[in-house]
Chain A
Amino acid sequence: MSNAVSPSSSFWKKNQQKLAPWLFLAPGMLMFVIYVLVPIFQSIWISFHDWDGLGEQVWIGFDNYVELLDDDTFYVALKNNLIWLVLYLLSIPAGLAAALFLNQTVTGIRLYKSLFFFPFVISQVVVGLMFTWFYAPDFGLFSKLTEWLTGEQIAVLADERFVTYGIIVAGLWPQTAYCMILYLTGLNNINPEQVEAARMDGAKGVKLLWNIILPQLGPATFIAMVVTVIGSLRSFDLVSVMTAGGPYGSSQVLSYFMYEQALSEYGFRMGYGAAIAVVLFLIMMIFISLFIVRMLRQERNA
C-alpha cells in the first residue's frame, strides 16, 4: 500500500465492511426487484382496472372481484384447488413408504433409487402427455383396465366426475419421487445409536417408526410439506396439457383459469386475470407466511 492514500480510497477502507454487502447484493437484488417484487404490486394495481393489454387502463375499483364472486368457474377452480391440495399431500406418506422400501444396501440399489426418482426429472409436459395416453379412451392402458374390471370403459379425462382426480394422479407421480428423495436423504442421516437403543428396548416396526424415526425426519417432512403444498397450488402444466381446464371447465384450477382469462382467444382480460392471480397469491401467502415463520424460528435458534 502506498502512503499517499487518496481521500476516496480511505473512505472506501473505512466503510468497506458496511458497503461491501450492498455491492454484492446489488445486481441480484436489482433483477429480483424488477422481475419479482414490483410486478406483484403492478398485478394488484392492474386488478382494479379493465385492460385488454394494449389500450388504456380503465379504473373500475373492485368490479373485477365482484364479477369473480359471481363466476361459477371461479368456484369450480377453488374447489379443485382444494382437492389438489389435499390429495397432493398423499405424496408425502407415499414418498416415505417408497424411501423405506428402498433404504437397503443390496447390490444395485443406487441405480434403483435413481430410476425411482426419474419421474421428477422429466418435464410436466411430458408427464402430462404420458398420462393422457395412459387414460386415452379405447386403447389407453387405464381404459382397458377399467373395462376389464368393471365391464365399462371410463374415459377419465372426458368425464367431469373423474377428470381432476385423473390429473392429480399424474401430478402425484413426480411429486412422490421428490418426497422419496427427501426422505431417503433424511433416513441416511438418522442417528444409528438411538435406533439401536430403541431396538434394545424392544421397539420395532410401526412403533419404532412413529416414535424414533419420524421425529428425526422432521426437517425432511417440513420441506416435503413446503414443496408439496406450493406445488399443488401451482399446478398449471398438467391441467394445460391434459385438459385445458375441460371438459366444460370441470378441471379448472385458479392458475389455469387466470391464464385463460388473461390471454384467451376471446380477447385479453388482463384486469380480470390479475384479480384471479391476486386471489391465488393471497391463498398462497397464507402458506408462505407459515413456512417463513417456522424457518425464521429455526434461523433464530441456529
Chain B
Amino acid sequence: MFPTPIEKASRFVQTGYKILLPVALFLWLLPLIGVAITSVRPAGDLAAGNYFGIPSAFAGVENYTAVFRDSPIGWYILNSFKVTIPTVIGAVALSCLTGFALAVYRFKSNLVLFFLFVAGNFIPFQILMVPVRDMTLRAGLYDTTMGLVLFHVAFQTGFCTLFMRNFIKGLPFALIESARVEGVSEWRIFRHIVLPLMRPAIAALSVLVFTFVWNDYFWATVLVQGQHAMPVTAGLYSLNGQWVAAWHLVSAGSIVAALPPVAMFFLMQRHFIAGLTLGATKG
C-alpha cells in the first residue's frame, strides 16, 4: 500500500482527510456543478445577473422541457444512438475476429499487422479527413448516419484489435491446442471455446467504444451537414450558436448530451476502467 493507509495516521489526520475529500471533489467538479445548477436556473436570474448565486427558483422542468420542445436535441440524441450502437456492434464484432487471428496464429506478418492496427489508432484524424469525406460523398453516404458508422467501425477496429488480441493472449492456450488435437475446426474453436471467454473484453470494449463514438465531434462535423443526421455533439455546438446568452438552455442541453455516456460509465464502471487501463499494470 502506498501512500501509508490513513487508518494508521492520527485521528486528526484521518478527520482532516475525510473533510478534504468532499472539498477537493467539489472544487474538481466545480465547472460541472456550475453547469448543473445553471440548467435549473430561471431565465430571469441570468437577466438579473444572478449567475452563480443560489437560483431564485427551481426551473429545471421548464428549462429541460424548453430544450426538448424548442430545439431538435431529441432528434440529435436519436442520431447519436443511430451512429453509436451500430458502431459498437460492428467494431467489437470485427475485432473479435482480428484479435483472435493475431493472438492465436503464428505467421510471418503477424506482428507487422498488429502494429499497423496500433499505429493506425494513433494517427491524427486530419490525415484521413479529405479522402474519407470525398469517399463518403461519392458513395452517397455524406450527411447520413451510415457514413459515420462505417468510418467509426473502421477506425475503432484498430483500438479494439489491440485490446482483443492482448486479452486473448492472456487466455490459456492449452485450451485451444487440446481442441485442435480433438480435430475441432478453427471456426468452432473460435465460436465455442474462445468467444465465451471473451465476454469481459466485449463488455469493456462496448462501453469504451460507446463513449468514444458518442463524444466524437470532429467526424460529426466533417461527414454531416444537415440536421437530419447530426449527432448531439455537433448539434449542441450549433444550438450554442442559436442560444446566445441563454446559458440556462445551453447548460440543460449540455447535461442532456453528456448523460448517456455518464450513465453508461456508472452502470458498467468496472468494465470501463478495466478497458481503459489495459496495459497499465503489466509491461
Contacts and interface: CB of A to CB of B under 8 A. Distances in A.
Nearest to A104: B6
A69 B115 CA distance: 33
Nearest to A302: B169
Interface string B227-268: 000000110110010000001001100100110011001100
B145 interface: no
Contacts, number: 291
Interface in A11-28: 16-18, 20-22, 24-25, 27-28
Given A34-B154, A122-B262, A185 B280 contact: yes
A245 interface: no
B5 A130 contact: no
Contacts of B233: 123, 125
Interface stretch (B64-72, B122-130, B198-206): B122-130
A291 to B, nearest CB: 7
Contact of A38 (B110, B131, B186, B283): B131
Contacts of A29: 98, 113
A187 interface: yes
Contacts of A223: 277, 279-280
A3 interface: no
A236 B215 CA distance: 13
Contacts of B124: 233-234, 255, 277, 280-281, 284
A109 B190 CA distance: 40
A115 B185 CA distance: 47
B174 to A, nearest CB: 17
Contacts of B221: 240
B94 A31 contact: yes
A104 B9 CA distance: 12
Given A21-B107, A288-B123, A296-B115, A106 B34 contact: no
The prevalent SS among residues of A at the interface is: helix
B167 to A, nearest CB: 14
Nearest to A229: B122
A247 interface: no
Contacts of A192: 1
Interface in A138-190: 139-141, 144, 173, 178, 181-183, 185-190
B276 A219 contact: no
Interface stretch (A58-66, A85-93, A268-276): A268-276
Nearest to A255: B126
B59 interface: no
A122 B281 contact: no
A299 interface: yes
Contacts of A133: 31, 34-35, 38, 247, 250-251
B127 A115 contact: no
B3 interface: yes
Contact of A208 (B2, B101, B115): B2
B25 interface: yes
What's the interface size class on A, roughly?
35 or more
A213 B128 contact: no
Interface in B1-59: 1-7, 17-18, 21, 24-25, 28-32, 34-35, 38, 49, 51-52
Nearest to B256: A126
Contact of A130 (B2, B35, B104, B107): B35
7 contacts: A20-B101, A21-B101, A37-B116, A133-B35, A187-B2, A273-B126, A296-B111
Interface of A: 16-18, 20-22, 24-25, 27-29, 31-32, 34-40, 42-43, 46, 53, 100-101, 103-106, 109, 112, 114-119, 121-127, 129-131, 133-134, 139-141, 144, 173, 178, 181-183, 185-190, 192, 195, 204, 208-209, 212-213, 218-220, 222-223, 226, 230, 233-234, 236-237, 240-241, 254-255, 258-259, 262-263, 270, 273-274, 276-278, 280-281, 284-285, 287-288, 291-292, 295-296, 298-299
Given A270-B130, A273-B126, A284-B124, 8 more contacts: A32-B117, A37-B120, A121-B265, A122-B215, A131-B31, A255-B125, A262-B129, A281-B127
Interface of B: 1-7, 17-18, 21, 24-25, 28-32, 34-35, 38, 49, 51-52, 94-95, 97-98, 100-102, 104-105, 107, 110-111, 113, 115-120, 122-135, 150-151, 153-155, 157-158, 161, 185-187, 190, 211, 214-215, 217-218, 221-222, 233-234, 236-237, 240, 247, 250-251, 254, 257-258, 261-262, 265-266, 269, 273, 276-277, 279-283
| In the complex, the 9 A-B pairs of residues with the closest C-beta atoms, listed nearest first | A219-B283, A35-B154, A24-B101, A39-B131, A28-B98, A123-B215, A42-B131, A185-B277, A21-B105
